[in-house]
């Protein structure tokens, strides 16, 4: 009934409707997260919504109503991550993808008094473009090598102005503002997300893509090497076993003079080589001009081939103790 005043102890109708709406969204979304939107300007928040439209849906509400909506749902443990400035996000994307999307949507922002430096704040070397004034002495007082150069304030060398973890004072904030340095980031922080029965906290979601990819490749390579050495057949190692068997069978066929389309070329080359070796034992008067010509070519090439072979032997000795038994390169060398 319109205009009805709620009796003490009675839940306001709008609150019940809000909880019902939130719970419906929570139950119907495969991925539900809690983000911190505290201290984000309205314009920046609007930009984030636009950037993530179609991928992530934001829903802000009162903290106590958010917690009530989570009760008696499979995602109830998200209650522990709701605090001032919290909001729900709903998505079909996995939590790691959502985290990256939110990080990319962040924008530089000026430092305010009381902010904590998340990384070292550096003043770069070179001209600031600012005219001479009191800023020079202020910078010098704070340990920044500033001077007047060609009519403007210049920094003699790159300087760490605020170290990571330090609190930014009002004076430091004003100087950074004059220098047009925006060391802070404004954006939504994903505190935790639920997917398929698991809660992913932000410290788990914050991963290094390059390092993770490198670790996966290294683990795969080591596993493949181990399975090959221990003759363990897998979908990946069976290809290496087939290649090895092919090489060995071909080598055996050539040694036994078993002719096939794959071996005929090597067998012919071997036969020619053996014939030339035998010809060296005969009197030159018994050889025709063509055979003499081929022997002369072989004799002129032999010293060069010998040097190359000796060099390869030396290189092999030098590399014998180097790391070559782990990884696909070692397997490649095995197949020769």
Cβ proximity of 96 and 205 under 8 Å: yes
Per-residue pLDDT at 285 exceeds 80: no
Q: Tell me the C-alpha distance between 108 and 173, whole Å.
A: 14
Q: Tell me the C-alpha distance between 24 and 32, whole Å.
A: 12
Q: What is the mean pLDDT of the chain?
A: 83
Sorted by where each starts, the structural domains of the chain and their CATH numbers stand as 13-106+187-206 (3.30.70.1730), 121-184 (3.90.105.20), 211-334 (no CATH)
**pLDDT (tens digit per residue) in 149-184:** 989 999 999 999 999 999 999 999 999 999 999 998
Q: Is 231 exposed, middle or buried (0-12, 13-18, 19+ CB in 10 A)?
A: exposed
> What's the pLDDT at 99?
92
> What's the pLDDT at 310?
60
**50 pLDDT tier (thresholds 50, 70, 90):** confident
- What pTM was estimated for this model as a whole? 0.54
Range 271-291 average pLDDT: 74
Per-residue pLDDT at 85 exceeds 90: no
């Amino acid at each position: 009934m319109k205009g009805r005043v709620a009796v003490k102890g009675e839940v306001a109708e709008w609150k019940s409707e809000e909880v019902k709406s939130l719970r419906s969204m929570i139950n119907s979304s495969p991925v539900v997260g809690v983000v911190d939107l505290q201290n984000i300007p309205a314009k920046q928040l609007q930009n984030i919504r636009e950037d993530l439209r179609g991928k992530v849906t934001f829903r802000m509400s009162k903290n106590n109503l958010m917690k009530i909506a989570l009760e008696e749902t499979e995602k109830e443990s998200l209650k522990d991550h709701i605090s001032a400035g919290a909001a729900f996000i709903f998505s079909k994307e996995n939590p790691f993808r959502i985290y990256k999307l939110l990080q990319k949507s962040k924008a530089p922002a000026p430092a305010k008094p009381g902010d904590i430096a998340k990384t070292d704040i550096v003043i770069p070397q070179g001209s600031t473009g600012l005219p001479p004034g009191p800023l020079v002495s202020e910078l010098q007082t704070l340990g920044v090598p500033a001077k007047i150069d060609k009519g403007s304030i210049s920094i003699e060398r790159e300087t760490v102005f605020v170290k990571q973890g330090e609190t930014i004072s009002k004076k430091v904030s004003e100087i950074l503002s004059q220098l047009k340095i925006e060391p802070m980031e404004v954006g939504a922080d994903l505190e935790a997300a639920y997917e398929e029965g698991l809660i992913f906290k932000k410290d788990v979601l914050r991963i290094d893509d390059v390092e993770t990819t490198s670790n996966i490749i290294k683990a795969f390579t080591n596993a493949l090497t181990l399975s090959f050495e221990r003759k363990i057949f897998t979908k990946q190692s069976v290809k290496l076993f087939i290649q090895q068997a092919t090489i060995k069978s071909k080598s055996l066929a050539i040694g036994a003079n078993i002719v096939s389309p794959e071996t005929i070329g090597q067998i012919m080359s071997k036969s020619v080589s053996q014939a030339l070796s035998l010809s060296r034992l005969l009197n030159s008067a018994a050889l025709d001009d063509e055979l003499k010509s081929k022997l002369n070519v072989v004799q002129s090439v032999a010293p060069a081939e010998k040097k190359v072979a000796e060099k390869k032997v030396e290189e092999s000795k030098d590399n014998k103790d180097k790391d070559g038994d782990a990884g696909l390169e070692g397997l490649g060398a095995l197949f020769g």
